[in-house]
Amino acid sequence: MRRVFGVKKNNDPPPSLEDANDRITKRGDTVDEKIKKLDVELNRYKEQIKKSRPGPAQEAVKARAMRVLKQKRMYEGQRDMLYNQTFNLDQVQFAAEGIKDAQQTMSALKSANKELKGMMKTVKLQDIDNLQDEMMDLMDVSNEIQETLGRSYSVPDDIDEEELMGELDALEADMENETEGVPSYLQPDKESDLDAELNLPSAPTGQTAAPHGRFNAQTEDELGLPAVPRASLRG
């Protein structure tokens, strides 16, 4: 029959890593639920063993507990195997996503490289140098224009500096002549007069000499006050 009709081809796409991971995770959850039920049953048997007396009844409960414990160990082994499979799938999925990210990065770099090459064709270093030179020339011309526009029209360029110095000396002489006719109290103080004013005479120290013609000058005590005559003290 296969030779006549042929074998039906399976055109379904292969499962993805995410689908396989989800399927195994669901199986693991199912196994966990079974293990929890067995734990509840095993705890019930433990309580019965504690309450029962040694004998056939207790041995029967122990046999049931042993069977439940074996099933639990089997499901725990299956759960560990499923966890290992999901871990492997996660590792493969992480590596696949890393390769996809690298491919996208390479595509973006290629596109940017192509764009930069196109931009570099329109920009030439020689054109930039020429532009800089032209800008410097324009700045020089602009400075010359500013200097020309800022030049004063009333000051001639051919003035002799010696002539200017002579006019300055004459101006100072005229100012001195004008100050001679001003009263002394309106004239500015000179340094010599200021020094003379500051060099005041020092204050007298000690006893002053009595003027001529006066023989009854009063004497002073140790505090500098006039001494009181002894006669007045006796009276």
Q: What is the mean pLDDT of each run of 10 residues along the chain (235 residues)?
A: 55 78 88 90 87 83 88 91 90 90 94 89 85 92 87 64 80 74 55 52 51 50 60 47
pLDDT of residue 213: 45
Of residues 100, 93, 96, 77, the one with CA closest to residue 21? 93
Q: Which domain holds residue 73?
A: 17-118
Give a yes or no: residue 151 inside a domain.
no
Give a yes or no: residue 29 inside a domain.
yes
Q: Which residue has the tokens 């006066």?
A: 214
Give a yes or no: residue 176 inside a domain.
no
Cα 41 to Cα 86: distance, rounded to the nearest angstrom: 29
Give a yes or no: residue 160 inside a domain.
no
Cα 73 to Cα 80: distance, rounded to the nearest angstrom: 11
pLDDT of residue 184: 56
pLDDT of residue 212: 47
Using DSSP's 3-state secondary structure scheme, residue 61 falls into helix
- Encode pLDDT of 214-232 as tens digits: 444 456 666 666 665 554 4
Cα 30 to Cα 27: distance, rounded to the nearest angstrom: 5
Give a yes or no: residue 205 inside a domain.
no
pLDDT of residue 137: 92
DSSP-assigned beta bridge partners for residue 226: 220
The b-or-e profile of 61-72 (16+ CB within 10 A means b, else e) is beeebeebeebb
**Overall domain count for the chain:** 1
Report how far Cα 45 is from the mean position of its chain's Cα atoms.
Answer: 68
Give a yes or no: residue 60 inside a domain.
yes
Give a yes or no: residue 43 inside a domain.
yes
What's the maximum distance between 2 C-alpha atoms anywhere in the chain?
176
